[in-house]
Amino acid sequence: MDLLRSVKDSTDETEFYTPLPEGYTLGQTKYVAVFGTVMSGLGKGIFSSSLAKLLKDKGLTVAPIKLEGYLNIDSGTLNPFRHGEVFVLDDGMETDMDLGTYERMLDQDLVGANFATSGQIFSAVLDKERAGSYLGRDVQMIPHVTGEVKMRLRELALQSEADVVFIEVGGTVGDIENAFYIEALRELSYEEGEGSVLCVALTYVLSPPTLGEQKSKAAQLGIKRLMEFGIHPHLIACRAEDRVTDKVRQKISIYTNVPLKRVFSMHDLPSIYLLPQIMREEGLDSEVVQLLNLGGLINSAEDARNAQAWQEFSSRIGKHTHDVTVGVTGKYTALRDSYASIIKSLEHSEVANDAKVHIKWIDTTDIDAADVVGVLGDVDGIIVPGGFGVRGTAGKIACIQYARVNNLPYLGICLGFQMAVIEYARNVCGLDLADSTEIDPDTQTPVISVLPEQKKIEGLGGNMRLGGQDVMITPGTLAAELFDGAKHIRQRFRHRYEVDPDYIEQLEAGGLIFSGRHGEHRIMQILELPRDVHPYFVAAQFHPELTSRPLRPQPMFKGLVRAAIERKQA
């Protein structure tokens, strides 16, 4: 009797249940699974994406996937204060911020298959149960829910044609919602065969100030909990404020049977982009290649080129000749993770501009025209980011007016685009009551609104316009200059409200330029002011921060930093 059976072959005569996608071969794809212990938020995504980058640099095809324990179908409804920013993929999937870390580190666009939640897994299982796909069996966590997890991983392997799939399990070992993920990965390791699945435990080494030394007991116990699930790690990454001492690494090595050379000190660094180089120097990439028998697939020449390019980038981090301050005026500023991609976009742009960018966080909830001079008087440029709801919009409009009147470099994003239209309509075009129907549903001058014909065009219904869309660029504009003369670009959207076409001509007559538009319909996507009116005033209905990469900074952010430098030098 074969050990592994498909759904169709599963009967009461066997308990083996391993659904395999058509065309999938066991043991052909390699997997790296990353688990967290002690506490969450330690950087599993940063470690996993850095290691994946090193393998991609060697010419391997890699595909990451984040397994989330929450029951939401996606991250779209999560409050930024609870879970950080919502990162939108090109295909419209709303995910958590870790997918942004993977895209930036790998310079690779991801899709919905790279993200799974418990809600997705359970929904798929229940749909199959209703369809009779389990042939009358009682549906259980094991083997059916764990089987669905393995099916997702193997489908991703086939779809992406990956040599290595990187699996990040959200949260920590011991979280009840993660137990079935951990069990599924134990089963995966058993079924794929020896040398096919490599497990990483990311743990935390405490440094109590009163003791003055690093303590490893919490790390040891966290890894022990993982081993109790049947997962024996091949690598251990030790998060700590300072470099983990050899003594502590030796303790963890002995306690876990993991060789000392595979117990890695993942201590705090000035930038996460320094981590791949340190991992390379420690030989972690070579250990993974050896453990997974990937040596025959390595392209040494490509590895050398990629390593050199990254070294040139990372060597410039922290070194600069310019120093500027950019204000980020939002309403989620109490939690920096709400603007994670904006922070990273500024990091990419500061390296490209040989600058250090200091971020001044400005909560617009209580700002009015009387406050704005004191709030923005010491910044060299501002960003008004996206957001939803009424709170803080009046403060954003006041900040935009100050930036426009005082020639302060300005970048508006999504809501920042809409608020710029409202500010210009009120204060330049004479539309004193101009507003958005999101802010005032009964406004008599809805320069920003949701239009029935646009809903029909985009097929939105009551939902948002999500994911990648083409933007047509008007030649001779600032947008065309920023995007190197491109006639069209692809950017990611997440919004409901648009510029009402009834007001476009009046806004343009007043001097506002819509330099980016929908290819077929009257949907405005980039606005700007002429360069002889303002040195740098530009806004996008899309989210430019979602497509910025370390070696390819997003042009609108890069331009903002350059304009801020020029203003400070003037």
Provide DSSP, 311-378.
Answer: HHHHTTTT--SEEEEEEEEES-TTSGGGGHHHHHHHHHHHHHTTEEEEEEEEE-TT--TTTHHHHHTT
| pLDDT over 70 at 12, yes or no | no
Q: How far is CA 384 from CA 1, 81, 328, 374, in A?
A: 63, 18, 6, 17
**Do 309 and 327 belong to one domain?**
no
Q: What is the CATH number of the domain that holds 436?
A: 3.40.50.880
Q: Is residue 25 part of a domain?
A: no
Find the Cα–Cα–Cα–Cα dihedral 516, 518, 523, 524, rounded to 10°. -10
Distance CA 537, CA 479 (A): 10
Residue 2 has pLDDT above 60, yes or no: no
Q: How far apart are alpha carbons 375 and 431 in whole angstroms? A: 27
Say if residue 9's pLDDT is above 70. Answer: no
Give the span between the Cα atoms of 537 and 404, in whole angstroms: 7
Res. 203: pLDDT tops 90: yes
- Would you state the pLDDT for residue 15? 67
> Which residues face 66 on adjacent strands?
115, 168
**What rounded mean pLDDT belongs to the chain?**
92
Q: How confident is the model at residue 412 (pLDDT cuts 50, 70, 90)?
A: very high
Listed as own residue / partner, the contacts of 473-479 with beta carbons closer than 8 Å and 24 or more positions apart are 473/515, 473/516, 473/526, 474/513, 474/514, 474/515, 474/516, 474/517, 477/513, 477/515, 477/528, 478/515, 478/528, 478/531, 478/536, 478/538, 478/559, 479/515, 479/516, 479/526, 479/528, 479/538
Task: Say whether both 305 and 348 belong to one domain.
Answer: no
Instruction: Indicate whether 481 and 541 sit together in one domain.
Output: yes
Residues contacting residue 177 through CB under 8 Å, at least 6 positions apart: 69, 70, 118, 171
What pLDDT shows up at residue 405? 97
CA-CA distance, 394 to 406, in Å (whole number)? 18
The pLDDT of residue 314 is above 60: yes
- In this structure, the answer to whether residues 119 and 178 fall within a common structural domain is yes
Catalytic choice (414, 423, 429, 534): 414
Closest-CA residue to 173 (of 126, 220, 234, 107): 220
Cβ atoms within 10 Å of 437's Cβ, excluding its own: 17
Among residues 362, 271, 267, the alpha carbon closest in space to that of 314 is found at 271
- Both 296 and 403 in one domain: the answer is no
Give, for 204, the enclosing helix (H) or strand (E).
strand 197-204
Q: Is residue 380 part of a domain?
A: yes
- Domain membership flag for residue 27: no
Verify cis geometry, omega within 30 degrees of 0, for the bond prior to 143. Answer: yes
Quick one: 307 and 342 in the same domain?
no
**Is residue 9 assigned to a domain?**
no
Query: Of 268, 291, 313, at which residue does a domain stop?
Result: 313
Q: Is 414 annotated in the active site?
A: yes
Two tokens at 214? 């690093």
Residues 151 and 177 in one domain: yes
How many domains in the chain? Answer: 2
Contact 238, 264 (CB under 8 A): yes
The string of pLDDT tens digits covering residues 425-437 is 999 999 999 999 9
In a domain, 406, yes or no: yes
The C-alpha atoms of residue 362 and residue 373 are separated, in whole angstroms, by 13
Confidence (pTM): 0.93
- What is the model's pLDDT at position 14? 64
Same domain membership, residue 361 and residue 294: no
Token pair for residue 106? 């790998």
Tokens for 196, please give them: 């096919």
Contact yes or no for 563/491 (Cβ under 8 A): no
- The residue segments making up the domain with residue 450 are 322-569
Residue 18 lies in a domain: no
Alpha-carbon torsion, ordered 5, 196, 252, 42, to 10 deg: -90
Last residue of some domain: 258, 292, 313? Answer: 313
Length of the chain: 570
Residue 214: which CATH number? 3.40.50.300
* Domain limit, last residue, from 284, 313, 342: 313
pLDDT confidence of residue 455:
57
In a domain, 89, yes or no: yes
Same domain assignment for residues 285 and 349: no
Q: What are the Cα distances from residue 134, in Å, to 1, 7, 9, 57? A: 20, 7, 10, 42
More confidently predicted of 570 and 206: 206
Q: Is pLDDT at 454 greater than 80 in this prediction?
A: no
| 302 plus 343 within the same structural domain | no
Is the pLDDT at 134 greater than 60? The verdict is yes
pLDDT of residue 77: 84
Q: Is 545 an active-site residue?
A: yes
Query: Do residue 123 and residue 167 come from a single domain?
Result: yes
Percent of the chain scored above 90 by pLDDT?
A: 81
Distance CA 541, CA 107 (A): 23
Read off the pLDDT of each residue in 257-280 and give the average, rounded to a whole number: 96
Token pair belonging to 167: 């699996």
pLDDT exceeds 50 at position 6: no
- What is the pairing mode between strands 235-240 and 263-267? parallel
Catalytic residue among 83, 144, 322, 543: 543
Look at residue 138 and tell me if it is in a domain. Answer: yes
Is residue 363 domain-shared with residue 337, that is, in the same domain?
yes
Digit-coded pLDDT (tens) for 327-351 = 999 877 767 788 999 999 999 999 9
User: Does residue 238 have a pLDDT over 80?
Assistant: yes
Q: What is the pLDDT of residue 456?
A: 59
